[in-house]
Amino acid sequence: MESIFEFYGWDVLKAVQMHQGLINSTYIINTTSGEFVLQSVNHTIFKDPAAIDHNINTIGSYIKENHPGYLYTYLVPTLNGNTLVEWEGKYYRAFHKIDGYALSVLDNPIQAKEAATQFGNFTQILEGLDMGKLKITLPDFHNLSLRFHQFSEAIIHGNSNRIQDSSNAISFLQSHKWIVDQYVKFIQHADVKQRVTHHDTKISNVLFKQIEGIEKAICVIDLDTVMPGYFISDIGDMCRTCLCDVSEEEGNLDLVKVDGAKWEAIQAGYLSQMETVLSNFEKDHLFFGGQFMIYMQALRFLTDHLNNDIYYGAKKEGQNKVRALNQIRLLEVYNKLK
Ligand code: GN1
Ligand code: MG
């Protein structure tokens, strides 16, 4: 890592790896000139790290000009003025560390409203940005038809023992293919628009801070997948990660429950920013957003399990199956909210 520090001209006091996120590696770097977040971008998944760099900088310039007071994760330039470093086949970038904390589960609806307000605000302030200026950092990332296709391939060509052991989960996901059909109808509708979409609005991707004794959501982080998309991705991943007291890693399915008050709070927070931006047809699909994202995540985890964990990896045998079963239960209980 020393070579990377040299690119930035950092005099490093302490470097600690953080264990958050399933894709990139993240380090907190304490230097004599301040605290930074250094990340190595997972190049196997993000084939074009320069596209991410381009998007973060393009959005940053727009924000600097149009919303200068907005708290944004601007990239830190190296001594040469680059915001992306390629070193020994890996890609690195850095941010100033923002004073705040991330949560992996929420205690109350106020936090859910706060988070949803921040994510809604992010899309809303970027309404005027020409989306043609943004690159696609992960093609077809939230294309549910493709995700279903990949799942259908995995149940034929995947690990045969795992396919056998997962028959209940497979049947469940097949029997919910109507979510794919509804998604296709949704995106084809004339009143549905693509906007600047975060695409990874899990609750740990918003920072909180105590301000005068009140817990506020202050900043949206992890902008790797910001690109044109549909709002159901963003409201959906909030539903997926805010409504339940336990995370996607929880294996005890009895603990997977959803809190209706938090759902109301997400809706209120998101609409406080997006009410005048969304069409009526889109607003009729707030709840569908949750079904879409929970179902997609269940498909993705189970597909990966059947494909021997090639995408997410697994720290424990069967980890992606545990996650898939968790998301399936979450979808079941979520569906009962309406
Ligand atoms: C991945 O690594 P992280 O936490 O940013 C994934 C998301 C999933 C999430 C599930 C690029 O996000 O889509 O929702 O794991 N990101 C990518 O925890 O696949
Ligand atoms: Mg992410």
DSSP 59-96: HHHHHHHH-TTS---PBPP-TTS-S-EEETTEEEEEEE
Whether residue 116 is found in the same domain as residue 213 = yes
Given a cut of 90, whether residue 22 has pLDDT beyond it is: no
CA distance to 46, 93, 142, per residue, from 293 (Å):
20, 28, 9
Which ligand 1 atom is nearest residue 22's CA? 2
Residue 299 is predicted with a pLDDT of: 98
The residue-averaged pLDDT of 317-338 equals 97
Residue 4 near residue 87, CB atoms below 8 Å: yes
Whether residue 170 is found in the same domain as residue 298 = yes
Last residue of a domain, one of 44, 72, 97: 97
Whether residue 327 is found in the same domain as residue 205 = yes
CATH number at residue 236: 3.90.1200.10
Whether residue 61 is found in the same domain as residue 180 = no
Residue 1 in tokens: 């890592």
Domain assignment present for residue 103? The answer is no
Percentage of the chain modeled with pLDDT above 90: 98
Domain carrying residue 198? 109-335
Q: How far is the CA of 293 from the centre of ligand 2 (A)?
A: 14
Residue 4 near residue 38, CB atoms below 8 Å: yes
Q: How far is the CA of 40 from the centre of ligand 2 (A)?
A: 12
Q: Within a 10 A sphere around the Cβ of 74, how many other Cβ atoms?
A: 16
Domain assignment present for residue 194? The answer is yes
Q: How far is the CA of 24 from the centre of ligand 1 (A)?
A: 9
Whether residue 121 is found in the same domain as residue 241 = yes
Residue 19 is predicted with a pLDDT of: 86
Residue 257 in tokens: 């429950």
Whether residue 281 is found in the same domain as residue 181 = yes
Given a cut of 90, whether residue 106 has pLDDT beyond it is: yes
| For ligand 1, atom 14: residue with the closest CA | 200
Whether residue 268 is found in the same domain as residue 169 = yes
State how far the Cα of 190 lies from the Cα of 228, in Å rounded to an integer.
17
Whether residue 127 is found in the same domain as residue 267 = yes
Domain assignment present for residue 104? The answer is no
Whether residue 65 is found in the same domain as residue 178 = no
Which ligand 1 atom is nearest residue 248's CA? 18
Whether residue 35 is found in the same domain as residue 150 = no
Confidence of residue 20 (pLDDT cuts 50, 70, 90): confident
> Could you say which ligand is closest to the alpha carbon of residue 312?
1
Q: How many helices (H) and strands (E) does the chain have?
A: 12, 9
The residue-averaged pLDDT of 302-318 equals 97
Last residue of a domain, one of 97, 123, 139: 97
Domain assignment present for residue 231? The answer is yes
Domain assignment present for residue 295? The answer is yes
Report the number of distinct structural domains present in the chain: 2
pLDDT, the chain, mean: 97
The residue-averaged pLDDT of 20-32 equals 93
State how far the Cα of 195 lies from the Cα of 295, in Å rounded to an integer.
22
Domain assignment present for residue 33? The answer is yes
Q: Within a 10 A sphere around the Cβ of 160, how many other Cβ atoms?
A: 10
Q: Which residue has the tokens 């898939």?
A: 324
State how far the Cα of 221 lies from the Cα of 215, in Å rounded to an integer.
17
Ranges assigned E (strand) in 213-286:
214-220, 227-229
- Helical (H) or strand (E) element with 37: strand 34-41
Task: Look at residues 58, 45, 49 and name the one whose alpha carbon lies nearest to residue 196.
Answer: 58
Given a cut of 90, whether residue 1 has pLDDT beyond it is: no
Last residue of a domain, one of 97, 125, 159: 97
CATH number at residue 74: 3.30.200.20
Q: How far is the CA of 22 from the centre of ligand 2 (A)?
A: 8
End-to-end CA distance of the chain: 50
Whether residue 276 is found in the same domain as residue 307 = yes
The set of protein residues with a Cβ atom below 6 angstroms from ligand 1 is 21-23, 45, 138, 200, 202, 222, 225, 248, 297
pLDDT tens digits for range 213-263: 999 999 999 999 999 999 999 999 999 999 999 999 999 999 999 999 999
CA distance to 3, 135, 199, 227, 321, per residue, from 130 (Å):
37, 11, 18, 11, 40
Whether residue 126 is found in the same domain as residue 237 = yes
The amino acid at residue 335 is N
CA distance to 1, 74, 106, 206, 208, per residue, from 103 (Å):
28, 22, 7, 8, 8
Which ligand 1 atom is nearest residue 293's CA? 14
pLDDT tens digits for range 155-196: 999 999 999 999 999 999 999 999 999 999 999 999 999 999
- Helical (H) or strand (E) element with 16: strand 12-18
Residue 338 is predicted with a pLDDT of: 86
State how far the Cα of 143 lies from the Cα of 162, in Å rounded to an integer.
25
Domain assignment present for residue 222? The answer is yes
Residue 252 in tokens: 């005890």
Task: Look at residues 56, 65, 7, 62 and name the one whose alpha carbon lies nearest to residue 31.
Answer: 7
Domain assignment present for residue 78? The answer is yes
Task: Look at residues 161, 203, 165 and name the one whose alpha carbon lies nearest to residue 293.
Answer: 203
Task: Look at residues 40, 37, 19, 39 and name the one whose alpha carbon lies nearest to residue 28.
Answer: 37
